[in-house]
Amino acid sequence: MTKEELQSLLDKYLIGTITPEEQHLLNRWYEGLDKGPYPAALSKIEEEALKSKLWNEILPESIHAKGRAVDNVSQVKAGDSVLESSLDGRSIPIWRTLLRIGIAASIIIVLGIVYNQYKHEINHTLNIPIVFRGTSDDDNILYTNRSGQIERIDLTDGSKIFLYPGSWLKYNRQFTSKKREVQLSGEAFFKIQHESDRPFIVLADKTITTVLGTSFIIKAYPNAKSVVVAVKTGKVSVQVPDSSQSNQNEAIPAEVMTLNPQQQAVYLRDTQMLTKENVLSSKPIVASQLVFEEKTVPEVLTALGNIHNVGMIYDMEHLKECTVTVTFYNETLEQKLDLLCKILGATYERVDNQIILFSKGCHK
């Protein structure tokens, strides 16, 4: 089985579209993990990386699910499939142990998640882009940033895109002779190579942003109330297609707005209104900076949740009227939450992939 075939099967399994025949192939691939070397779909470097990820992530969660705690994992031999722990003071064949505790079926789910995570880490270390091919169209490339850092994407035309965590970017492998077009969900900072005869177009939710060569940032998170296009250099036009048109690419723009440096367009999803605002010179538009000026706490928490791909649980009634002004740079999520809690006089707790914020309201 090739890497592409394996990735396609894992993707189908995770979204629930896998057929019984494909499920059988995936099960056979998984069973092969217990029989010696890893399947030929993985290189030697990738074998070792995947094994390490499996030991560190699958085993502790699986044993915990059965009510058994691993007190001290002292050594993992990635090449020998052996775990040495304090469970009983002796070496245990890892896959045999997993089968004994009855979790073989559930491992496939975790394996798919870990496989995608390990691919990112190996590719990032080797300076290889994080590429996930769309199953419906091999001509398209889909970049999904599942890391906690901003990832740089270098396009064939010389343009650079800085993709924020929890965001994805999709575009055709070969730009056409008339335009360069990409689709964005989430947030990205664009530095576009100038081409007077071939505009660069970004489709983000209901907005269409067109440039010839400039730098700008787009924020279009799926659950946010608005889409924001802010210009750092050059000139940008933002369009909102006619809602009566079903195809965004062929829609007649109901409104076209031109932005200059230090200006931004804000599209409100509820009202479908597009407005222009000036960006304060003291608030530079850069890819590594998160600036909140007089924003409500729920807005800040929603943004942090989108960027770091975690859920946020809090009391909306206590916090909906609280506003904060804060700037984040390259801090970790925990550092950002510590600062926010200090401002609010609040505390938080992390449970799995959820952040629970405890606050009685605005800190006086």
User: How wide is the angle at C-alpha 29 spanned by C-alphas 23 and 34, nearest 5°?
Assistant: 130
More confident residue, 139 or 144: 144
* CB burial readout 4-13, b (16+ within 10 A) else e: eebbbbbbbb
Instruction: Name the one residue in this structure whose structure tokens are 């279009």.
Output: 220
CATH 3.40.50.300 fits 132-278, yes or no: no
Residues of the chain within CATH 3.55.50.30 domain(s) are: 290-358
- pLDDT (tens digit, 9 = 90+) per residue, 60-76? 443 343 343 333 333 33
What pTM does this model have?
A: 0.47
Report the percentage of the chain scoring pLDDT > 90. 23
pLDDT at residue 20 is higher than 60: yes
- pLDDT (tens digit, 9 = 90+) per residue, 281-332? 444 455 456 778 788 898 889 888 877 778 898 988 888 888 988 888 778 8
Residues of the chain within CATH 2.60.120.1440 domain(s) are: 132-278
Q: Other CB atoms closer than 10 Å to residue 317's CB: what's the count?
A: 8
Q: Is 99 helix (H, G, I), strand (E, B) or coil?
A: helix
- pLDDT (tens digit, 9 = 90+) per residue, 167-183? 899 998 888 889 999 99
Fold topology of 290-358? Phage tail protein beta-alpha-beta fold (3.55.50)
